[in-house]
């Protein structure tokens, strides 16, 4: 039977704690041997026996208390009681094991050398408390890191939600304005446009609760949007969507590419009498650091950056794409907007696979 990830993590934590405890015990044994308190092998057996038994009681007891909730050590009375219990059991059982190895009796020191017996007790207590506090500090740090990670994830999700609510009305208002004009000029095309809009909104609302969807869904939504624009622009708009099969399931934030396509139409093709073509192409490549990444290009044959009039809408779309990339992929993503060598504009989105 295969172990669950949570069980593997627990086993790994227990083994790591045991190794750290052994390292502490070895240091204490070497220090005692160097100070002339006895042979190093005897000190090693005493130290390891007391330390590992104490560890087993404290760490095992806390796992029972935590009940698999992922908590590590407690500064309350549970933690203090476990340290006291672990120290006591570890000292009693550990000294018995050490006595069996050395052939001597630690408990006889109570009669003829009480100060030496007390020093052994104090050393055991201090060592156990130090190791327990070390584990407590590590557990607290890990718990805080987990809380920070959850907070960062929630903030990123909220930011993505906000950005999507800003993008949806932006596209919808533009489409409704175009539809209003078509109703008077060309009712049949207006009906066709309304059908495409209905299909587009159905798909959009179905995925609106998700923070990501497959790249194939993003391309499908682009197809619906470009069909809407084709009804308004007619033969002036031509487009190509190129998505390799091996990239269809790559997750991306919804509406990641649409602002770039909108910009290409509004500021590249529409100002040009003959219109032009938009090509959206995805590919897999390797970054300078050797990391596998996805690159998506949105190329148009429009008037180009220099000839396109300045517009807040254009800045809005580019800024939203950059923010969505940053919120999802961080500094490992990029969005560049440059003039195409063959005319028009090229927008490139890059993020890790």
Global pTM reads 0.52
Together in a domain, 128 and 229: no
The reply to whether 202 and 56 lie within a common domain is: no
pLDDT on residue 6: 58
Q: How many structural domains compose the chain?
A: 2
Do both 43 and 107 map to the same domain?
yes
For residues 156 and 211, give the distance between their C-alpha atoms in angstroms, rounded to a whole number.
10
Contact present, 171 and 225 (Cβ < 8 Å): yes
132 lies in the same domain as 207: no
What's residue 69's pLDDT? Answer: 46
Roughly how many angstroms between the first and final C-alpha of the chain, as a whole number?
32
- Alpha-carbon gap, residue 219 to 221, rounded angstroms: 5
Q: Which pLDDT score is estimated for 5? A: 57
Average pLDDT for the chain: 77
Residues 69 and 209 in one domain: no
220 plus 270 within the same structural domain = yes
Residue 204 lies in a domain: yes
> Which of these, 55, 30, 37, 44, lies nearest to 117 by C-alpha position?
37
- Residue 282 has a pLDDT of 92
Predicted local confidence at residue 289, as pLDDT: 75
**Residues 341 and 254 sit within 8 Å (Cβ to Cβ):** no
The domain boundary residue, chosen from 148, 178, 199: 148
Calculate helix-pair angle for 77-102, 40-66, nearest 10 degrees. 150
Q: What is the pLDDT of residue 7?
A: 64
Q: Quick check: is 168 in a domain?
A: no
105-126 confidence digits (pLDDT tens) = 887 777 777 787 788 788 888 8
- 171 within domain boundaries: no
At which of 97, 126, 148 does a domain end? 148
Instruction: Decide if 89 is inside a domain.
Output: yes
- Residue 91 located in a structural domain: yes
The CATH number given to whatever domain includes residue 207 is 3.30.565.10
Residues 271 and 344 in one domain: yes
Say what the pLDDT of residue 197 is: 77
Reported as type and span, the H/E element at residue 33 is helix 5-34
- Does some domain include residue 169? no
Q: DSSP 3-state helix, strand, coil percentages of the chain (rounded to 5)?
A: 70, 10, 20
143/190 same-domain check: no
Residue 215 belongs to a domain: yes
What are the structure tokens assigned to 233, written together? 């622009």
The verdict on 111 and 216 lying in the same domain is no
- For residue 256, the enclosing domain spans 186-352
Q: Please report the pLDDT score of residue 241 as a whole number.
A: 93
pLDDT under 70 in the chain at which residues? 1-10, 66-78, 149, 152-171, 174, 203-211, 306-317
For residues 194 and 315, membership in a common domain is answered with yes
User: Is 79 inside any structural domain?
Assistant: yes
Same domain, 191 and 144: no
């Amino acid at each position: 039977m295969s172990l669950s990830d949570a069980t593997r993590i627990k086993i790994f934590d227990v083994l790591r704690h045991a190794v750290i405890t052994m390292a502490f015990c070895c240091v204490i044994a070497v220090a005692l041997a160097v100070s002339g308190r006895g042979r190093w092998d005897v000190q090693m057996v005493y130290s390891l026996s007391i330390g590992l038994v104490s560890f087993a009681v404290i760490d095992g007891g806390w796992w029972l208390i935590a009940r698999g909730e992922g908590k590590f050590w407690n500064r309350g009375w549970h933690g203090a009681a476990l340290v006291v219990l672990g120290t006591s059991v570890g000292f009693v059982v550990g000294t018995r094991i050490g006595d069996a190895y050395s052939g001597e009796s630690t408990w006889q020191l109570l009669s003829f050398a009480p100060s030496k017996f007390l020093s052994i007790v104090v050393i055991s207590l201090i060592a156990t408390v130090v190791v327990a506090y070390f584990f407590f500090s590590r557990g607290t740090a890990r718990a805080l890191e987990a809380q920070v990670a959850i907070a960062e994830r929630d903030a990123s999700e909220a930011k993505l939600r906000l950005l999507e609510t800003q993008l949806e009305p932006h596209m919808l208002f533009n489409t409704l304005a175009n539809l209003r004009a078509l109703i008077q000029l060309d009712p049949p095309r207006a009906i066709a446009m309304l059908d495409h809009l209905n299909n587009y909104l159905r798909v959009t609302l179905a995925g609106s609760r998700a923070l990501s969807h497959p790249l194939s869904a993003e391309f499908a939504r682009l197809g619906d949007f470009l069909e809407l624009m084709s009804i308004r622009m007619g033969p002036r708009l031509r487009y190509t969507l190129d998505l390799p099969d091996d990239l269809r399931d790559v997750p991306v934030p919804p509406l990641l590419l649409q602002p770039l396509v909108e910009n290409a139409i509004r500021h590249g093709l529409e100002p040009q009498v003959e219109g032009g073509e938009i090509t959206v192409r995805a590919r897999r490549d390797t970054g300078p650091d050797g990391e596998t990444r996805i690159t998506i290009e949105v190329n148009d044959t429009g008037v180009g950056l220099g000839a396109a009039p300045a517009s807040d809408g254009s800045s809005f779309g580019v800024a939203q794409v950059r923010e969505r990339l940053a919120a999802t992929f961080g500094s490992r993503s990029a969005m560049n907007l440059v003039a195409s060598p063959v005319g028009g504009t090229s927008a490139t989105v890059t993020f890790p696979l």
